[in-house]
Structure 1
Protein backbone atom coordinates (compact mmCIF):
# COMPACT_ATOMS: atom_id res chain seq x y z
CA UNK A 1 0.00 0.00 0.00
CA UNK A 2 2.91 2.32 -0.66
CA UNK A 3 2.41 3.15 -4.29
CA UNK A 4 -0.15 4.98 -6.34
CA UNK A 5 -1.41 1.60 -7.57
CA UNK A 6 -3.31 1.39 -4.29
CA UNK A 7 -5.87 3.81 -5.66
CA UNK A 8 -5.72 3.16 -9.38
CA UNK A 9 -9.23 1.74 -9.59
CA UNK A 10 -10.81 5.19 -9.28
CA UNK A 11 -13.62 6.12 -11.65
CA UNK A 12 -13.39 9.00 -14.04
CA UNK A 13 -13.77 12.36 -12.29
CA UNK A 14 -16.01 15.24 -13.28
CA UNK A 15 -14.85 18.61 -14.55
CA UNK A 16 -11.53 19.50 -12.97
CA UNK A 17 -11.28 22.79 -11.17
CA UNK A 18 -7.98 22.48 -9.25
CA UNK A 19 -5.03 20.13 -9.23
CA UNK A 20 -5.30 17.14 -6.94
CA UNK A 21 -4.43 18.46 -3.48
CA UNK A 22 -3.53 15.20 -1.76
CA UNK A 23 -0.01 13.71 -1.90
CA UNK A 24 0.92 10.48 -3.60
CA UNK A 25 0.54 7.44 -1.35
CA UNK A 26 4.16 6.50 -0.79
CA UNK A 27 6.02 5.05 2.18
CA UNK A 28 6.62 8.65 3.31
CA UNK A 29 2.88 9.23 3.41
CA UNK A 30 2.36 6.40 5.88
CA UNK A 31 5.38 7.30 8.02
CA UNK A 32 4.29 10.93 8.40
CA UNK A 33 0.67 9.90 8.92
CA UNK A 34 1.62 7.68 11.88
CA UNK A 35 3.89 10.41 13.27
CA UNK A 36 1.09 12.99 13.12
CA UNK A 37 -1.25 10.66 15.00
CA UNK A 38 1.18 10.15 17.86
CA UNK A 39 2.17 13.79 18.00
CA UNK A 40 -1.50 14.83 17.98
CA UNK A 41 -2.25 12.49 20.87
CA UNK A 42 0.48 13.75 23.19
CA UNK A 43 0.19 17.39 22.09
CA UNK A 44 -3.53 17.36 22.88
CA UNK A 45 -2.91 15.94 26.35
CA UNK A 46 -0.04 18.38 26.93
CA UNK A 47 -2.12 21.42 25.95
CA UNK A 48 -5.01 20.30 28.14
CA UNK A 49 -2.64 19.93 31.08
CA UNK A 50 -0.93 23.29 30.52
CA UNK A 51 -3.93 25.44 29.57
CA UNK A 52 -6.93 23.54 30.88
CA UNK A 53 -9.41 21.57 28.74
CA UNK A 54 -11.60 24.46 27.56
CA UNK A 55 -8.80 26.84 26.46
CA UNK A 56 -6.97 23.90 24.87
CA UNK A 57 -10.01 22.92 22.81
CA UNK A 58 -10.54 26.54 21.78
CA UNK A 59 -6.92 26.94 20.72
CA UNK A 60 -6.96 23.61 18.91
CA UNK A 61 -10.15 24.51 17.08
CA UNK A 62 -8.78 27.90 16.03
CA UNK A 63 -5.54 26.35 14.77
CA UNK A 64 -7.55 23.76 12.83
CA UNK A 65 -9.71 26.42 11.16
CA UNK A 66 -6.67 28.49 10.18
CA UNK A 67 -4.71 25.53 8.81
CA UNK A 68 -7.67 24.26 6.78
CA UNK A 69 -8.35 27.78 5.47
CA UNK A 70 -4.80 27.90 4.14
CA UNK A 71 -5.12 24.39 2.69
CA UNK A 72 -8.34 25.34 0.89
CA UNK A 73 -6.83 28.60 -0.35
CA UNK A 74 -3.88 27.04 -2.18
CA UNK A 75 -4.47 25.67 -5.66
CA UNK A 76 -2.19 22.63 -5.52
CA UNK A 77 -0.61 20.20 -3.11
CA UNK A 78 2.04 21.89 -0.94
CA UNK A 79 3.71 19.59 1.56
CA UNK A 80 3.99 22.05 4.44
CA UNK A 81 0.44 23.30 4.05
CA UNK A 82 -1.12 19.86 3.71
CA UNK A 83 0.71 18.21 6.60
CA UNK A 84 0.19 21.18 8.92
CA UNK A 85 -3.53 20.74 8.35
CA UNK A 86 -3.22 17.01 9.10
CA UNK A 87 -1.38 17.76 12.34
CA UNK A 88 -4.07 20.20 13.42
CA UNK A 89 -6.78 17.68 12.56
CA UNK A 90 -4.90 15.15 14.68
CA UNK A 91 -4.72 17.47 17.67
CA UNK A 92 -8.35 18.56 17.45
CA UNK A 93 -9.62 15.07 16.60
CA UNK A 94 -8.00 13.82 19.79
CA UNK A 95 -9.62 16.63 21.75
CA UNK A 96 -13.04 15.82 20.28
CA UNK A 97 -12.81 12.21 21.42
CA UNK A 98 -11.45 13.20 24.83
CA UNK A 99 -14.17 15.80 25.38
CA UNK A 100 -16.84 13.13 24.92
CA UNK A 101 -15.15 10.76 27.34
CA UNK A 102 -13.61 13.03 29.98
CA UNK A 103 -15.89 16.04 29.74
CA UNK A 104 -19.24 14.38 29.08
CA UNK A 105 -18.58 10.96 30.57
CA UNK A 106 -19.34 9.03 27.38
CA UNK A 107 -17.61 5.62 27.59
CA UNK A 108 -15.29 4.53 24.79
CA UNK A 109 -17.60 1.61 24.12
CA UNK A 110 -20.19 4.20 23.05
CA UNK A 111 -17.99 6.88 21.45
CA UNK A 112 -16.08 4.40 19.26
CA UNK A 113 -19.18 3.10 17.41
CA UNK A 114 -20.56 6.66 17.38
CA UNK A 115 -17.52 7.95 15.51
CA UNK A 116 -17.65 4.86 13.27
CA UNK A 117 -21.22 5.72 12.29
CA UNK A 118 -20.17 9.34 11.73
CA UNK A 119 -17.37 8.27 9.41
CA UNK A 120 -19.68 5.90 7.54
CA UNK A 121 -22.16 8.76 7.08
CA UNK A 122 -19.43 11.01 5.68
CA UNK A 123 -18.36 8.30 3.23
CA UNK A 124 -21.95 7.58 2.22
CA UNK A 125 -22.71 11.25 1.54
CA UNK A 126 -19.38 11.74 -0.24
CA UNK A 127 -20.03 8.78 -2.54
CA UNK A 128 -23.66 9.74 -3.13
CA UNK A 129 -22.60 13.19 -4.31
CA UNK A 130 -19.31 12.46 -6.06
CA UNK A 131 -19.52 8.73 -6.97
CA UNK A 132 -15.95 8.20 -5.79
CA UNK A 133 -13.96 8.12 -2.55
CA UNK A 134 -10.57 8.08 -4.25
CA UNK A 135 -7.97 10.51 -2.94
CA UNK A 136 -6.61 10.68 -6.48
CA UNK A 137 -9.57 12.84 -7.42
CA UNK A 138 -9.66 15.45 -4.66
CA UNK A 139 -9.78 18.10 -7.35
CA UNK A 140 -12.98 20.04 -6.66
CA UNK A 141 -14.01 22.13 -3.69
CA UNK A 142 -16.80 19.70 -2.85
CA UNK A 143 -14.49 16.70 -2.81
CA UNK A 144 -11.99 18.60 -0.70
CA UNK A 145 -14.65 19.33 1.90
CA UNK A 146 -15.67 15.67 1.99
CA UNK A 147 -12.04 14.56 2.18
CA UNK A 148 -11.21 16.68 5.22
CA UNK A 149 -14.49 15.76 6.93
CA UNK A 150 -13.52 12.11 6.49
CA UNK A 151 -10.00 12.75 7.77
CA UNK A 152 -11.35 14.47 10.90
CA UNK A 153 -13.77 11.59 11.52
CA UNK A 154 -10.99 9.00 11.14
CA UNK A 155 -8.87 10.78 13.74
CA UNK A 156 -11.71 10.95 16.26
CA UNK A 157 -12.61 7.31 15.61
CA UNK A 158 -9.01 6.15 15.89
CA UNK A 159 -8.49 8.04 19.13
CA UNK A 160 -11.54 6.47 20.75
CA UNK A 161 -10.67 2.99 19.43
CA UNK A 162 -7.09 3.23 20.68
CA UNK A 163 -8.16 4.38 24.14
CA UNK A 164 -10.78 1.64 24.20
CA UNK A 165 -8.29 -1.17 23.59
CA UNK A 166 -5.84 0.36 26.07
CA UNK A 167 -8.46 0.33 28.83
CA UNK A 168 -10.02 -3.10 28.23
CA UNK A 169 -6.90 -5.15 28.91
CA UNK A 170 -4.50 -4.67 26.01
CA UNK A 171 -2.64 -1.75 27.54
CA UNK A 172 -0.71 0.70 25.38
CA UNK A 173 2.04 -1.66 24.25
CA UNK A 174 -0.48 -4.41 23.60
CA UNK A 175 -2.54 -1.95 21.56
CA UNK A 176 0.55 -1.09 19.50
CA UNK A 177 1.01 -4.77 18.66
CA UNK A 178 -2.71 -5.21 17.94
CA UNK A 179 -2.93 -2.29 15.51
CA UNK A 180 0.44 -3.06 13.92
CA UNK A 181 -1.00 -6.42 12.90
CA UNK A 182 -4.36 -4.91 11.96
CA UNK A 183 -2.85 -2.35 9.59
CA UNK A 184 -1.25 -5.14 7.56
CA UNK A 185 -4.58 -6.85 6.91
CA UNK A 186 -6.08 -4.41 4.35
CA UNK A 187 -2.79 -4.38 2.43
CA UNK A 188 -2.76 -8.18 2.36
CA UNK A 189 -6.43 -8.36 1.41
CA UNK A 190 -5.84 -5.90 -1.43
CA UNK A 191 -2.86 -7.85 -2.75
CA UNK A 192 -4.91 -11.05 -2.71
CA UNK A 193 -7.72 -9.35 -4.58
CA UNK A 194 -10.19 -9.60 -1.70
CA UNK A 195 -10.43 -5.84 -1.09
CA UNK A 196 -10.47 -3.02 -3.60
CA UNK A 197 -7.95 -0.22 -3.45
CA UNK A 198 -10.10 2.57 -2.06
CA UNK A 199 -11.58 0.67 0.94
CA UNK A 200 -8.13 -0.83 1.60
CA UNK A 201 -6.63 2.65 1.74
CA UNK A 202 -9.27 4.11 4.06
CA UNK A 203 -9.19 1.07 6.35
CA UNK A 204 -5.44 1.43 6.77
CA UNK A 205 -5.84 5.19 7.16
CA UNK A 206 -8.19 4.72 10.11
CA UNK A 207 -5.87 2.21 11.78
CA UNK A 208 -2.85 4.53 11.62
CA UNK A 209 -4.54 6.70 14.23
CA UNK A 210 -4.77 4.20 17.11
CA UNK A 211 -1.41 2.72 16.09
CA UNK A 212 0.46 6.02 16.33
CA UNK A 213 -1.48 7.26 19.34
CA UNK A 214 -0.94 4.04 21.30
CA UNK A 215 2.79 4.12 20.54
CA UNK A 216 3.12 7.75 21.63
CA UNK A 217 1.10 7.13 24.80
CA UNK A 218 3.26 4.11 25.64
CA UNK A 219 6.38 6.26 25.27
CA UNK A 220 5.03 9.28 27.19
CA UNK A 221 2.96 7.92 30.07
CA UNK A 222 4.29 6.76 33.41
CA UNK A 223 5.22 3.26 34.51
CA UNK A 224 2.08 2.96 36.63
CA UNK A 225 0.06 3.22 33.42
CA UNK A 226 2.23 0.77 31.53
CA UNK A 227 4.35 3.35 29.73
CA UNK A 228 8.03 4.24 29.49
CA UNK A 229 7.54 7.49 31.40
CA UNK A 230 9.38 9.74 28.93
CA UNK A 231 6.85 12.54 29.42
CA UNK A 232 4.34 14.29 27.19
CA UNK A 233 6.54 17.28 26.29
CA UNK A 234 9.66 15.32 25.23
CA UNK A 235 7.63 12.85 23.15
CA UNK A 236 5.64 15.66 21.52
CA UNK A 237 8.80 17.56 20.64
CA UNK A 238 10.58 14.47 19.33
CA UNK A 239 7.69 13.42 17.12
CA UNK A 240 7.24 17.01 15.91
CA UNK A 241 10.92 17.14 14.95
CA UNK A 242 10.56 13.89 13.02
CA UNK A 243 7.51 15.28 11.16
CA UNK A 244 9.40 18.47 10.29
CA UNK A 245 12.33 16.45 8.93
CA UNK A 246 10.20 14.20 6.74
CA UNK A 247 7.97 17.00 5.47
CA UNK A 248 11.00 19.17 4.82
CA UNK A 249 12.52 16.39 2.75
CA UNK A 250 9.32 16.00 0.73
CA UNK A 251 8.99 19.75 0.24
CA UNK A 252 12.47 19.85 -1.30
CA UNK A 253 12.48 16.54 -3.17
CA UNK A 254 8.78 16.53 -4.16
CA UNK A 255 8.93 12.75 -4.02
CA UNK A 256 5.24 12.64 -3.15
CA UNK A 257 4.16 15.27 -5.67
CA UNK A 258 5.60 14.04 -8.96
CA UNK A 259 2.43 12.18 -9.85
CA UNK A 260 -0.10 14.44 -8.12
CA UNK A 261 -2.55 15.62 -10.70
CA UNK A 262 -6.26 15.87 -11.29
CA UNK A 263 -7.75 12.45 -11.77
Structure 2
Protein backbone atom coordinates (compact mmCIF):
# COMPACT_ATOMS: atom_id res chain seq x y z
CA UNK A 1 0.00 0.00 0.00
CA UNK A 2 2.84 2.37 -0.79
CA UNK A 3 3.02 4.95 -3.53
CA UNK A 4 5.12 5.94 -6.48
CA UNK A 5 6.41 9.13 -8.03
CA UNK A 6 3.44 11.09 -9.20
CA UNK A 7 4.19 14.14 -11.30
CA UNK A 8 2.61 14.34 -14.72
CA UNK A 9 3.18 16.59 -17.68
CA UNK A 10 -0.20 17.86 -18.79
CA UNK A 11 0.86 19.22 -22.15
CA UNK A 12 -0.40 17.08 -24.98
CA UNK A 13 -2.65 14.95 -22.78
CA UNK A 14 -5.92 16.74 -23.45
CA UNK A 15 -6.25 17.64 -19.76
CA UNK A 16 -4.93 20.31 -17.45
CA UNK A 17 -3.76 23.68 -18.75
CA UNK A 18 -2.20 22.50 -21.98
CA UNK A 19 0.90 24.70 -21.50
CA UNK A 20 4.05 23.03 -22.91
CA UNK A 21 6.22 21.41 -20.26
CA UNK A 22 3.96 22.41 -17.35
CA UNK A 23 3.88 19.81 -14.58
CA UNK A 24 0.88 19.47 -12.29
CA UNK A 25 1.67 17.57 -9.12
CA UNK A 26 -0.38 14.86 -7.48
CA UNK A 27 -3.26 16.33 -5.47
CA UNK A 28 -3.38 13.65 -2.76
CA UNK A 29 -0.83 12.60 -0.12
CA UNK A 30 1.74 9.84 -0.18
CA UNK A 31 0.27 6.67 1.34
CA UNK A 32 2.23 6.28 4.56
CA UNK A 33 1.41 5.21 8.11
CA UNK A 34 0.42 8.84 8.76
CA UNK A 35 -2.16 8.60 5.98
CA UNK A 36 -3.87 5.58 7.52
CA UNK A 37 -3.75 6.93 11.08
CA UNK A 38 -5.35 10.24 10.07
CA UNK A 39 -7.86 8.45 7.85
CA UNK A 40 -9.07 6.27 10.75
CA UNK A 41 -9.20 9.30 13.05
CA UNK A 42 -11.26 11.19 10.44
CA UNK A 43 -13.73 8.33 10.23
CA UNK A 44 -14.11 8.38 14.01
CA UNK A 45 -14.69 12.13 13.95
CA UNK A 46 -17.19 11.70 11.13
CA UNK A 47 -19.27 9.36 13.25
CA UNK A 48 -19.10 11.30 16.52
CA UNK A 49 -19.46 14.75 14.94
CA UNK A 50 -22.48 13.64 12.94
CA UNK A 51 -24.11 12.36 16.13
CA UNK A 52 -23.10 15.52 18.01
CA UNK A 53 -24.50 17.91 15.40
CA UNK A 54 -27.69 15.90 15.08
CA UNK A 55 -28.21 15.95 18.86
CA UNK A 56 -27.03 19.47 19.75
CA UNK A 57 -27.46 21.76 16.73
CA UNK A 58 -31.26 21.76 16.79
CA UNK A 59 -31.42 21.75 12.99
CA UNK A 60 -32.63 18.19 12.62
CA UNK A 61 -30.88 15.53 10.60
CA UNK A 62 -31.85 17.11 7.29
CA UNK A 63 -30.78 20.61 8.32
CA UNK A 64 -27.42 19.43 9.60
CA UNK A 65 -26.91 17.44 6.39
CA UNK A 66 -27.54 20.52 4.24
CA UNK A 67 -25.22 22.67 6.36
CA UNK A 68 -22.34 20.19 6.31
CA UNK A 69 -22.83 19.53 2.60
CA UNK A 70 -22.53 23.27 1.93
CA UNK A 71 -19.33 23.47 3.99
CA UNK A 72 -17.95 20.45 2.15
CA UNK A 73 -18.74 22.05 -1.22
CA UNK A 74 -16.80 25.19 -0.25
CA UNK A 75 -13.76 23.20 0.90
CA UNK A 76 -13.82 21.04 -2.23
CA UNK A 77 -13.83 24.17 -4.40
CA UNK A 78 -10.69 25.29 -2.57
CA UNK A 79 -9.19 21.80 -2.94
CA UNK A 80 -9.83 21.72 -6.69
CA UNK A 81 -8.32 25.19 -7.12
CA UNK A 82 -5.03 24.27 -5.46
CA UNK A 83 -2.21 23.37 -7.84
CA UNK A 84 -0.75 20.61 -5.66
CA UNK A 85 -1.45 18.64 -2.49
CA UNK A 86 -1.99 20.82 0.58
CA UNK A 87 -2.30 18.81 3.78
CA UNK A 88 -4.61 21.22 5.62
CA UNK A 89 -7.13 21.57 2.80
CA UNK A 90 -7.03 17.89 1.85
CA UNK A 91 -7.62 16.51 5.34
CA UNK A 92 -10.32 19.09 6.08
CA UNK A 93 -12.13 17.83 2.98
CA UNK A 94 -11.75 14.21 4.15
CA UNK A 95 -13.06 15.04 7.63
CA UNK A 96 -16.09 16.85 6.19
CA UNK A 97 -16.76 14.06 3.69
CA UNK A 98 -16.69 11.63 6.61
CA UNK A 99 -19.40 13.65 8.36
CA UNK A 100 -21.48 14.08 5.19
CA UNK A 101 -21.17 10.40 4.25
CA UNK A 102 -22.42 9.45 7.70
CA UNK A 103 -25.33 11.89 7.46
CA UNK A 104 -26.34 10.64 4.00
CA UNK A 105 -26.59 7.09 5.32
CA UNK A 106 -28.37 8.21 8.51
CA UNK A 107 -30.91 10.25 6.52
CA UNK A 108 -31.82 7.27 4.40
CA UNK A 109 -32.18 4.89 7.33
CA UNK A 110 -33.57 7.20 10.04
CA UNK A 111 -35.68 9.69 8.06
CA UNK A 112 -36.75 7.58 5.10
CA UNK A 113 -36.85 4.16 6.72
CA UNK A 114 -34.59 2.50 4.17
CA UNK A 115 -33.17 -0.77 5.49
CA UNK A 116 -29.44 -0.94 6.19
CA UNK A 117 -29.18 -3.96 3.93
CA UNK A 118 -30.56 -1.83 1.10
CA UNK A 119 -28.35 1.21 1.71
CA UNK A 120 -25.26 -0.99 2.00
CA UNK A 121 -26.10 -2.65 -1.32
CA UNK A 122 -26.95 0.63 -3.08
CA UNK A 123 -23.80 2.41 -1.92
CA UNK A 124 -21.72 -0.62 -2.87
CA UNK A 125 -23.20 -0.57 -6.38
CA UNK A 126 -22.71 3.21 -6.63
CA UNK A 127 -19.05 2.87 -5.66
CA UNK A 128 -18.57 0.08 -8.21
CA UNK A 129 -20.11 2.29 -10.92
CA UNK A 130 -17.76 5.15 -10.02
CA UNK A 131 -14.77 2.82 -10.22
CA UNK A 132 -15.97 1.41 -13.55
CA UNK A 133 -16.40 4.86 -15.08
CA UNK A 134 -13.09 6.02 -13.64
CA UNK A 135 -11.23 3.03 -15.05
CA UNK A 136 -12.97 3.23 -18.41
CA UNK A 137 -12.00 6.88 -18.72
CA UNK A 138 -8.50 6.84 -17.24
CA UNK A 139 -7.47 3.14 -17.53
CA UNK A 140 -6.33 3.22 -13.90
CA UNK A 141 -7.71 3.65 -10.39
CA UNK A 142 -4.32 4.56 -8.93
CA UNK A 143 -4.25 7.46 -6.49
CA UNK A 144 -0.62 8.21 -7.35
CA UNK A 145 -1.62 10.25 -10.38
CA UNK A 146 -4.54 12.39 -9.24
CA UNK A 147 -3.17 15.19 -11.37
CA UNK A 148 -6.08 16.33 -13.55
CA UNK A 149 -9.44 17.79 -12.67
CA UNK A 150 -11.29 14.77 -14.06
CA UNK A 151 -9.24 12.30 -12.05
CA UNK A 152 -9.69 14.39 -8.93
CA UNK A 153 -13.47 14.47 -9.46
CA UNK A 154 -13.55 10.66 -9.71
CA UNK A 155 -11.33 10.41 -6.63
CA UNK A 156 -13.54 12.55 -4.37
CA UNK A 157 -16.72 10.91 -5.64
CA UNK A 158 -15.24 7.51 -4.81
CA UNK A 159 -14.18 8.75 -1.37
CA UNK A 160 -17.71 10.00 -0.66
CA UNK A 161 -19.26 6.64 -1.51
CA UNK A 162 -16.65 4.74 0.52
CA UNK A 163 -17.71 6.72 3.59
CA UNK A 164 -21.42 6.25 2.93
CA UNK A 165 -20.90 2.53 2.26
CA UNK A 166 -18.70 2.13 5.34
CA UNK A 167 -21.30 3.87 7.51
CA UNK A 168 -24.13 1.62 6.36
CA UNK A 169 -22.02 -1.54 6.54
CA UNK A 170 -20.74 -0.64 10.00
CA UNK A 171 -24.23 0.09 11.34
CA UNK A 172 -25.47 -3.14 9.79
CA UNK A 173 -22.78 -5.23 11.48
CA UNK A 174 -22.73 -3.45 14.85
CA UNK A 175 -26.44 -2.82 15.25
CA UNK A 176 -28.62 -4.92 13.00
CA UNK A 177 -26.52 -8.05 13.45
CA UNK A 178 -26.11 -7.34 17.15
CA UNK A 179 -22.32 -7.73 17.33
CA UNK A 180 -21.76 -4.52 19.25
CA UNK A 181 -19.11 -1.83 18.77
CA UNK A 182 -15.97 -3.48 20.09
CA UNK A 183 -16.60 -6.80 18.36
CA UNK A 184 -17.30 -4.91 15.12
CA UNK A 185 -14.06 -2.95 15.53
CA UNK A 186 -12.10 -6.19 15.96
CA UNK A 187 -13.86 -7.72 12.96
CA UNK A 188 -13.04 -4.81 10.65
CA UNK A 189 -9.47 -4.60 11.99
CA UNK A 190 -9.04 -8.30 11.19
CA UNK A 191 -10.42 -7.71 7.69
CA UNK A 192 -7.90 -4.91 7.13
CA UNK A 193 -5.10 -7.17 8.38
CA UNK A 194 -6.24 -9.81 5.90
CA UNK A 195 -6.06 -7.26 3.08
CA UNK A 196 -2.52 -6.29 4.15
CA UNK A 197 -1.54 -9.96 4.19
CA UNK A 198 -3.00 -10.46 0.72
CA UNK A 199 -1.11 -7.42 -0.50
CA UNK A 200 2.33 -8.23 0.84
CA UNK A 201 2.28 -12.03 0.95
CA UNK A 202 -0.05 -13.02 -1.88
CA UNK A 203 0.56 -10.24 -4.38
CA UNK A 204 -2.82 -8.51 -4.36
CA UNK A 205 -2.48 -5.34 -6.43
CA UNK A 206 -1.69 -2.10 -4.63
CA UNK A 207 -4.71 -0.34 -6.13
CA UNK A 208 -7.19 -3.06 -5.14
CA UNK A 209 -5.80 -3.43 -1.63
CA UNK A 210 -5.80 0.34 -1.10
CA UNK A 211 -9.46 0.82 -1.97
CA UNK A 212 -10.63 -2.23 0.01
CA UNK A 213 -8.72 -0.98 3.05
CA UNK A 214 -10.08 2.53 2.48
CA UNK A 215 -13.65 1.23 2.68
CA UNK A 216 -12.95 -0.94 5.73
CA UNK A 217 -11.31 1.85 7.76
CA UNK A 218 -14.63 3.72 7.75
CA UNK A 219 -16.61 1.20 9.86
CA UNK A 220 -13.48 0.51 11.93
CA UNK A 221 -13.17 4.17 12.94
CA UNK A 222 -16.90 4.53 13.46
CA UNK A 223 -17.05 1.48 15.72
CA UNK A 224 -14.16 2.81 17.80
CA UNK A 225 -15.82 6.23 18.04
CA UNK A 226 -19.15 4.81 19.13
CA UNK A 227 -17.50 2.47 21.64
CA UNK A 228 -15.63 5.35 23.26
CA UNK A 229 -18.45 7.89 23.22
CA UNK A 230 -21.55 5.84 24.06
CA UNK A 231 -22.69 4.76 27.55
CA UNK A 232 -22.61 1.10 28.51
CA UNK A 233 -26.39 0.83 28.11
CA UNK A 234 -25.97 1.62 24.41
CA UNK A 235 -23.06 -0.75 23.92
CA UNK A 236 -20.29 1.73 24.67
CA UNK A 237 -17.35 1.59 27.05
CA UNK A 238 -19.06 3.91 29.51
CA UNK A 239 -16.16 6.34 29.97
CA UNK A 240 -18.52 9.29 30.00
CA UNK A 241 -16.70 10.99 27.13
CA UNK A 242 -19.78 11.54 25.02
CA UNK A 243 -19.70 12.84 21.46
CA UNK A 244 -18.35 16.27 22.47
CA UNK A 245 -15.20 15.10 24.25
CA UNK A 246 -14.57 12.25 21.81
CA UNK A 247 -14.88 14.57 18.81
CA UNK A 248 -12.64 17.21 20.39
CA UNK A 249 -10.04 14.62 21.39
CA UNK A 250 -9.75 13.08 17.94
CA UNK A 251 -9.88 16.45 16.17
CA UNK A 252 -6.98 17.58 18.34
CA UNK A 253 -4.90 14.56 17.36
CA UNK A 254 -5.76 15.05 13.68
CA UNK A 255 -4.74 18.71 13.87
CA UNK A 256 -1.44 17.85 15.54
CA UNK A 257 -0.62 15.23 12.90
CA UNK A 258 -1.57 17.50 9.99
CA UNK A 259 0.60 20.32 11.39
CA UNK A 260 3.45 17.82 11.75
CA UNK A 261 3.04 16.78 8.10
CA UNK A 262 2.91 20.39 6.93
CA UNK A 263 6.19 21.10 8.73
CA UNK A 264 8.04 17.88 7.83
CA UNK A 265 6.47 17.26 4.38
CA UNK A 266 6.71 13.52 5.02
CA UNK A 267 3.58 12.87 2.96
CA UNK A 268 4.71 14.81 -0.12
CA UNK A 269 5.51 12.71 -3.17
CA UNK A 270 9.03 13.26 -4.44
CA UNK A 271 8.93 15.93 -7.10
CA UNK A 272 10.48 14.98 -10.40
CA UNK A 273 9.89 16.81 -13.65
CA UNK A 274 8.23 14.65 -16.24
CA UNK A 275 9.53 14.79 -19.83
CA UNK A 276 7.67 16.90 -22.29
CA UNK A 277 5.30 15.25 -24.70
CA UNK A 278 5.88 15.97 -28.36
Structure 1 length normalisation: TM-score? Answer: 0.93
* 1:151 maps onto 2:159 in alignment: yes
The SS at the match of 1:4 is: coil
Q: Work out whether residues 42 and 216 of structure 1, in 8 Å CA contact, stay in contact via their aligned partners in 2.
A: yes
CA distance in structure 2 between the aligned counterparts of 1:117 and 1:221, rounded to whole angstroms: 31
Q: Work out whether residues 24 and 259 of structure 1, in 8 Å CA contact, stay in contact via their aligned partners in 2.
A: no
What's the counterpart of residue 49 of structure 1?
55
- For residue 4 of structure 1, report the CA deviation from its aligned partner: 2.1
What's the counterpart of residue 220 of structure 1?
229
What's the counterpart of residue 237 of structure 1?
248
What's the counterpart of residue 95 of structure 1?
103
- For residue 228 of structure 1, report the CA deviation from its aligned partner: 2.0
* Root mean square deviation of aligned Cα: 1.9
What's the counterpart of residue 75 of structure 1?
83
Specify every segment of 5 or more residues in structure 1 that has no aligned partner in the other structure, as ranges: none
CA distance in structure 1 between the aligned counterparts of 2:161 and 2:271, rounded to whole angstroms: 24
- For residue 195 of structure 1, report the CA deviation from its aligned partner: 1.4
The SS at the match of 2:90 is: helix
Change (3 A) 1:188 1:262: farther
How many pairs were matched up? 258
Deviations 1:91-119 (A, max 9, x none): 10000010010011111111111110010
CA distance in structure 1 between the aligned counterparts of 2:50 and 2:214, rounded to whole angstroms: 20
CA distance in structure 1 between the aligned counterparts of 2:41 and 2:63, rounded to whole angstroms: 25
Change (3 A) 1:242 1:194: same
Change (3 A) 1:236 1:128: same
What's the counterpart of residue 170 of structure 1?
179
More helix as a share of residues? 1
Specify every segment of 5 or more residues in structure 2 that has no aligned partner in the other structure, as ranges: 17-23
- For residue 55 of structure 1, report the CA deviation from its aligned partner: 1.8
- For residue 132 of structure 1, report the CA deviation from its aligned partner: 0.5
CA distance in structure 1 between the aligned counterparts of 2:202 and 2:264, rounded to whole angstroms: 33
Structure 2 length normalisation: TM-score? Answer: 0.88
Deviations 1:105-151 (A, max 9, x none): 11111111111001000000000111110000101110000000000
The SS at the match of 1:83 is: helix
CA distance in structure 1 between the aligned counterparts of 2:72 and 2:223, rounded to whole angstroms: 22
CA distance in structure 1 between the aligned counterparts of 2:272 and 2:165, rounded to whole angstroms: 29
CA distance in structure 1 between the aligned counterparts of 2:161 and 2:128, rounded to whole angstroms: 9
Q: Work out whether residues 20 and 260 of structure 1, in 8 Å CA contact, stay in contact via their aligned partners in 2.
A: no
CA distance in structure 1 between the aligned counterparts of 2:62 and 2:162, rounded to whole angstroms: 23
* 1:25 maps onto 2:36 in alignment: no
Q: Work out whether residues 49 and 247 of structure 2, in 8 Å CA contact, stay in contact via their aligned partners in 1.
A: yes
CA distance in structure 2 between the aligned counterparts of 1:49 and 1:225, rounded to whole angstroms: 16
- Compare CA radii of gyration and give the structure with the larger one: 2
What's the counterpart of residue 191 of structure 1?
200
* 1:182 maps onto 2:191 in alignment: yes
Q: Work out whether residues 70 and 81 of structure 1, in 8 Å CA contact, stay in contact via their aligned partners in 2.
A: yes
- For residue 69 of structure 1, report the CA deviation from its aligned partner: 0.6
